[in-house]
Amino acid sequence: MIRAGVVGATGYAGAELVRLLSGHPGAQVAAVGSRSSAGKPLSEIYPAYYRLCDKVCGPEDEVIAKSDVVFAALPSGLSQELAAKCREAGKAFVDMGADFRLKREEDYQTWYKGKFVFPDLHEEAVYGLPELFRGKIRGGKLVANPGCYATAVPLALAPALEAGLASSEGIVADCASGVTGSGRKPTQNTHFAELNESMTAYKAGCHRHTPEMEQTLRAVTGKDVSLTFVPHLLPVSRGILATCYARLAPGATMEQVRAAYEARYGKEFFIRLLPEGRAADIKNVRLSNFCDISLHLDRRTGTLIAVSALDNMVKGAAGQAVQNMNLMFGLEETAGLTAMPPAF
Amino acid sequence: MIRAGVVGATGYAGAELVRLLSGHPGAQVAAVGSRSSAGKPLSEIYPAYYRLCDKVCGPEDEVIAKSDVVFAALPSGLSQELAAKCREAGKAFVDMGADFRLKREEDYQTWYKGKFVFPDLHEEAVYGLPELFRGKIRGGKLVANPGCYATAVPLALAPALEAGLASSEGIVADCASGVTGSGRKPTQNTHFAELNESMTAYKAGCHRHTPEMEQTLRAVTGKDVSLTFVPHLLPVSRGILATCYARLAPGATMEQVRAAYEARYGKEFFIRLLPEGRAADIKNVRLSNFCDISLHLDRRTGTLIAVSALDNMVKGAAGQAVQNMNLMFGLEETAGLTAMPPAF
Amino acid sequence: MIRAGVVGATGYAGAELVRLLSGHPGAQVAAVGSRSSAGKPLSEIYPAYYRLCDKVCGPEDEVIAKSDVVFAALPSGLSQELAAKCREAGKAFVDMGADFRLKREEDYQTWYKGKFVFPDLHEEAVYGLPELFRGKIRGGKLVANPGCYATAVPLALAPALEAGLASSEGIVADCASGVTGSGRKPTQNTHFAELNESMTAYKAGCHRHTPEMEQTLRAVTGKDVSLTFVPHLLPVSRGILATCYARLAPGATMEQVRAAYEARYGKEFFIRLLPEGRAADIKNVRLSNFCDISLHLDRRTGTLIAVSALDNMVKGAAGQAVQNMNLMFGLEETAGLTAMPPAF
Amino acid sequence: MIRAGVVGATGYAGAELVRLLSGHPGAQVAAVGSRSSAGKPLSEIYPAYYRLCDKVCGPEDEVIAKSDVVFAALPSGLSQELAAKCREAGKAFVDMGADFRLKREEDYQTWYKGKFVFPDLHEEAVYGLPELFRGKIRGGKLVANPGCYATAVPLALAPALEAGLASSEGIVADCASGVTGSGRKPTQNTHFAELNESMTAYKAGCHRHTPEMEQTLRAVTGKDVSLTFVPHLLPVSRGILATCYARLAPGATMEQVRAAYEARYGKEFFIRLLPEGRAADIKNVRLSNFCDISLHLDRRTGTLIAVSALDNMVKGAAGQAVQNMNLMFGLEETAGLTAMPPAF
């Protein structure tokens, strides 16, 4: 059994990771860490876990010592030092935060106002989007788990762009996320009475996942891709829906587009390309590691509309982290991630 | 007091109209009509109205006879004959359905599979979007009340396009609507357990409000405008959020854009152009006739992001119908529509 | 026009009061006060009010000076001094908090851990539940606005107990409230992701509204009434549903019970006794000052089940406060409170 | 592997059973049946199951033939004949409907207007509430799976009544259920726009689960128990919260009560007796087979308040059915039911 440690276990992503690992056939939660709730059992924070995970939150160093792999669910900027400690201790590391996602330090400086403290760690870090970069993740020791939107949008667009069937200019990624994406800390705009019956855009055109999406699509296509990304906050708990718009290339047909997606994703367990006539819905992937994708065409304007749906806490965070762990340790890639999404 | 009749009063738009008219200082509900609930008091369908509107649903002819103005909230295709009857009886008519919205019969045929039964009525019909076509509505006898999305999107885009500050090509209108937009009839996808925690696109690139939006923007700009429109269904009761993307014209600045919106809408009571830094939210316009608009810029791609929010049942249906009635009868345009939206 | 001032205007009850007063034909908001948001326009806190109530929050003394009547929406314990200031300034005062609700100081000490600072003010204070104590409120200068649960439960039970048709022992009041009842301040258990899809009891058997309910029922029946009260928190924004259980008196019939309710409430505008076969629903009273009541019988156990529904922010707070103001100033009791509840 | 067949697989309880069985280590879904959707893959009805359970719905006889155990999720009255067929074919049978729950035919006639078609089958049928009647279920061939409310209420009350610590008269069971309890068929009152922001009581004092609860408590205590039961419909998808009120017996203390619950449930995996100070919440048991119970005291009236929370689709239906299957076939009782409930 792989011993897994979770630093930042009391945040939503950390707690979800504990839930997923608890059902994993080849791994187990060895230790949980939290600064804010040190000394408290995790089930005091999350009563749903009562008697199922009553482990007490301890300090980071203890988590590292007890684990073969350390997952970090920390605010931006706090993972670099932890990654260094893990490397020193010879432990695998999966960062669920943003510290190791951007490969170009100037991007990190621009968008996160931070710098690369240990450049060699950044060199070593692998970007953990398995469906696009599986080969690099296998056997890796330091994996940067992608952002939630930065998983949904590139998965929706990659096959069309890679095959040259859609223009890499003028792309619009209009996304909506459930509220768990903004974390466990109560705020005014996530107070039930304020979010209920609400929908609004935020960080329109300036969200930090933008350069991450562009980096991924650049890696896939081999050329610069720019897109306009606007996220919205939804009154639901879980889920990201990404509605992506790209102009079809001259002469390209939807048959070709569909074939490109089937070629790319046909054997992927976690990507479900929906039959024509269906549309991806966040409801259908809840609590699962699936990413559903549906393809639509606006014939009048020649626009490809690719819609992806995933659970921001699973494929957008903890589930993908487990998928990455499976690849890092040579386990079955789907291990611990095969539970059916509930129908309602 | 203007005597108002509502045909199709048991549908959501009809019922909302009854609510708005009940607080109107210069009009009153004279009669309500419904085929499906003939002989029943409206409050039996809507217990919220118990003792407040217990009027019994009667036949269309009775509604016409008792009214100075007839509002029709009927499925597509059923309003033309009713409009003819109203003209014959000398009664003003506001159609909340789609029969008179499109001016070109070929568009109507393409999108609604119907034809213009009384061409002269279509000639006479005025498109009732007051902020853009107020002059034509004043004194009109037959008004086509716009579709909900077809109100939200043109209001968000008109000033920028009219002033030539944004490109009329490659526009994307990504919208989301509360479930009342799909009516009162229970269906599988609006069943609570299915819609709850869900979000999905529908009729991507082929929704019937598309030609209506383009018609409005063509009228405003004097040239063809094409856009890609994708609506989504939200797990909320009311509201439409329209996130519209248009490329800024070469050399255009956000200062110019903002100035154009202020010039267009500065004196409009029902349009609230939000200060910089705020984003339009459906929550803030619920149960009111306001349309909030916020403007954002994606500097990296030179894309204007104009977001509008309105209540699909009020500014997107019954409220705008009352606004049109006020104009038709020479009342204060805001009469009956000044209630503050609730804060929560 | 009566000039109304609202101290604590940025809380939910205060903000709702501003909304209701804005549509009042005989009163207007003269000033708003808030310590936490001093110097900010109210519409900065509540963007729904943008351009409709942009008044700036000022200090208490300024509110008193500008007003004929002062409404206080303050945490427990802060209203007594404010009431004294108002009396000194000759201004009417409506306390929406709990300071003046309990007539017996020992009850106040037991349940609120406070004391009566100005005993004569408590002597003077009138309990503002108009349907039961209208006569005392008329012309009053200091009114204690009832608690939300303490409005719903006594209204549901009073006629049966008063008429001796149900036992005053062994009563159970099982209630559920929307989240606005717990205020605007974000907390962990009102964070959207935690409250969504949740329902739980709180303060079971020990909520502060218990002695208030008993005091009211004692006043109505002339004898001691004890009840077991358990509130629950619901994932909805507004509304209280009170399901009250009382054993029918020997020989009492539902016909007698129904007759007693009709005698008591038949002429009350704000109480809607529902026809047999319907059940009170919080949805049907939202945003209105109505209290719907339905009566049911468990024949097998001889138990009367009286269910009341009201909007905790309106009949349970701000609406009832306006109703009290109307009585205090000799206005029509329903002034400003006649808007129909929305059907959806 | 036990081959399990599900008749009525397209209803909510049937679909949930398919989900649970898909993760069961010792059983698998061998066949699914549905009259309304015959010939369609289950995943066409529930797109969440796409590629995970694409089995095609077949006729009952085929389901019986392919299975070792048949689960029936059918409307009242349709299970008796199916049970007879299963007995004839030598297959185990778990009825998730109501046909075999009531042991006294007169009760069945009174509450369900039906009769016992095969009296010996009713003789043989075992009531499948494992925590109270485990011994009888082990090795059984025909199990009546309890109603959802009829699981929640007896589990909340049994230990106190069994130990004589609370009165068996004057009990009130006030319950609230998520909407999946009323099934998949869309109706007006479960239409999203009607149920959202709503709460109402239904079948107050006359719900069919009442005699079932009394039967269970009679079996546990050995004497007649009568209770008043009122269910409410909640705007959430899953969950039942049962708030039960019973007068403490003279001299009884909460320490004794708590001890009785610990003695009864201390070793039960699926019952979590919560620590003092916590309250049972439907959120914490979602998607799991747990039943959380919290105990509270109203000291003033000497009333025990026992609150239980369970997922109406799992412990209230499909999960308990699997638990019963495990007992019937001699598997580990918790097999397939150990997944942690999600924290959010």
**B342/A contact by beta carbon, under 8 A:** no
> Considering A53, A148, A175, A244, which one is annotated as catalytic?
A148
Record: contact B180-D193, CB cut-off 8 A = yes
Q: Between B190, B197, B235, which is nearest D191 by CB?
A: B190
Question: What would the pLDDT profile of B189-209 be if each residue is shown by its tens digit?
Answer: 999 999 999 999 999 999 999
Partner residue opposite B297 with nearest CB, options A205, A303, A309? A205
Provide, as residue numbers in chain C, all residues whose Cβ is less than 8 Å from the Cβ of A178: 193
Banded model confidence at residue D112, pLDDT cuts 50, 70, 90: very high
Distance CA A244, CA D190 (A): 33
Q: CB of B48 within 8 Å of any CB in chain C?
A: yes
What's the token pair of residue C131? 């349907």
Which among B86, B148, B175, B291 is annotated as catalytic?
B148
Contact B49 C339 (CB under 8 A): no
Chain B nearest C-alpha distance from C251 (Å): 32
pLDDT tens per residue across all 344 residues of chain C: 999 999 999 999 999 999 999 999 999 999 999 989 999 999 999 999 999 999 999 999 999 999 999 999 998 899 999 999 999 999 999 999 999 999 999 999 999 999 999 999 999 999 999 999 999 999 899 999 999 999 999 999 999 999 999 999 999 999 999 999 999 999 999 999 999 999 999 999 999 999 999 999 999 999 999 999 999 999 999 999 999 999 999 999 999 999 999 999 999 999 999 999 999 999 999 999 999 999 999 999 999 999 999 999 999 999 999 999 999 999 999 999 999 999 99
Residue of A nearest to D48 (CA): A284
Q: Which subunits have 3 or more CB–CB pairs within 8 Å of chain B?
A: A, C, D
Query: Å from C282 to nearest chain B CA?
Result: 9
Q: What is the pLDDT of residues D297-327, one digit of tens each?
A: 999 999 999 999 999 999 999 999 999 999 9
The domain segmentation of chain D, as residue ranges, is 2-146+315-328, 149-311
Q: pLDDT, tens digit, for every residue of B103-131?
A: 999 999 999 999 999 999 999 999 999 99
Partner residue opposite B287 with nearest CB, options C285, C338, C342: C342
User: Is residue B57 annotated as a catalytic residue, yes or no?
Assistant: no
Catalytic residue among D148, D175, D244, D291: D148
State residue B151's pLDDT score: 98
Q: What is the pTM of this model?
A: 0.98
Q: Answer positive or negative: Cα dihedral of C139, C144, C149, C150.
A: negative
Cα separation, A99 vs C88, in Å, equals 62
**Pair D175, D199: CB distance under 8 Å:** no
Q: Which residues of chain A have pLDDT under 50?
A: none
- Rounded to whole angstroms, the Cα distance separating C34 from C41 reads 10
DSSP E strands, A59-170: 69-72, 92-95, 126-127, 142-144
Lookup: tokens for C146: 């009832």
Compute the residue count for chain D: 344
A34's tokens: 């939290």
For residue A2, what are its two tokens? 């792989």
The Cα B23–Cα C341 span in angstroms is: 11
Interface subset of B 128-187, CB within 8 angstroms of A = 170, 172, 174, 176, 178
Count CA atoms closer than 13 A to D241's CA, side-chain side: 31
With contacts defined as CB-CB under 8 Å, which chain D residues touch A50?
A: 272, 274, 284, 292
Strands C27-33 and C2-7: what pairing?
A: parallel
pLDDT of amino acid B171? 98
For chain C, the chains sharing at least 3 beta-carbon pairs closer than 8 angstroms are A, B, D
The beta-carbon neighbor of B230 closest among A197, A243, A281 is: A243
Residues 310-339 of A with CB under 8 A from D: 313, 338-339
Q: Which residues in chain A are contacts of B236 at CB distance < 8 A? A: 196-199, 235
pLDDT recorded at residue C10: 97
CB contact under 8 A, D340 and A49: yes
> Across the interface, do D193 and B237 touch by the CB < 8 Å criterion?
yes
Q: Does D232 sit within 8 Å of C301, measured CB to CB?
A: no
Q: What is the pLDDT of residues A213-248, one digit of tens each?
A: 999 999 999 999 999 999 999 999 999 999 999 999
Model confidence pLDDT, tens digit, residues D183-231? 999 999 999 999 999 999 999 999 999 999 999 999 999 999 999 999 9
Query: CB–CB of B197 and D237 under 8 A?
Result: yes
- What are the chain D neighbours of A344 within 8 Å (beta carbons)? 12, 15, 180, 237-238, 313
pLDDT for D127? 98
Top residue of C191, C287, C344 to mutate, by most chain A CBs within 10 Å, is C191
Would you give the distance in Å from CA A154 to the centre of its chain?
Answer: 11
Kindly determine whether residue C19 and residue B340, on different chains, have CB atoms separated by under 8 Å. Answer: yes
Give the nearest chain B residue to A294 (CA atoms).
B201
Question: CA-nearest residue of chain C to B179?
Answer: C344
What CATH number is given for A149-311 in this structure? 3.30.360.10
Given an 8 Å threshold on Cβ–Cβ distance, is A186 in contact with C184? no
Tell whether D53 lies on the interface with A, counting CB pairs under 8 A.
Answer: yes
Mean pLDDT for B158-171 is 97
Q: What is the pLDDT of residue C215?
A: 98
- Residue D270 to residue D338: CA distance in whole angstroms: 9
- Of the candidates A340, B264, A228, the residue with the CA atom closest to the CA atom of residue D53: A340
CB contact under 8 A, D202 and C301: no
Question: Taking a C-beta distance cutoff of 8 angstroms, is the pair C138, C330 a contact?
Answer: yes
- Owner of token pair 């778990």: D94
Distances from the Cα of D36 to the Cαs of D7, D64, D74, D284, in angstroms? 11, 18, 12, 34
Read off the pLDDT of residues B62-100 as tens digits, 9 standing for 90 and up: 999 999 999 999 988 999 999 999 999 999 999 999 999
ipTM over 0.95: yes
Overall average pLDDT of the B265-279 stretch: 97
pLDDT of residue D114: 94
* Predicted local confidence at residue D292, as pLDDT: 98
Shortest alpha-carbon distance between residue C141 and chain D (Å): 35
**pLDDT over 70 percentage in chain A:** 100
Q: Which residue of C has its CA nearest to A191?
A: C191
Q: Which residue of B has its CA nearest to D179?
A: B193
Please report the pLDDT score of residue D6 as a whole number. Answer: 98
| Alpha-carbon gap, residue D194 to B48, rounded angstroms | 11
Q: In the CATH hierarchy, which top-level class contains the domain B2-146+315-328? A: alpha beta
Q: Are A49 and D343 inside 8 Å of each other by CB?
A: yes
Cα dist from D166 to D253, D260, D295, whole Å? 10, 11, 13
**Which A residues, 218 through 277, put their C-beta within 8 Å of a C-beta on chain D?**
237-238, 272, 274
Distance CA C187, CA D263 (A): 36
pLDDT at C228: 98
Confidence at residue D11, expressed as pLDDT on a 0 to 100 scale: 97
Out of B178, B192, B197, the one facing D190 most closely (by C-beta) is: B192
Contacts of C46 (CB under 8 A, 6+ apart): B343, C10, C15
| Nearest C-alpha neighbor of A292 from the set A275, A309, A267 | A309
The dihedral through the CA atoms of B3, B8, B14, B15 has a sign that is: positive
**Which of C184, C186, C237 lies closest to A196 in CB terms?**
C237
The whole-number average pLDDT for the span B229-240 is 98
Counted across chains A and C, CB pairs separated by less than 8 A come out at 55
CA–chain centroid gap for D325, Å, is 14
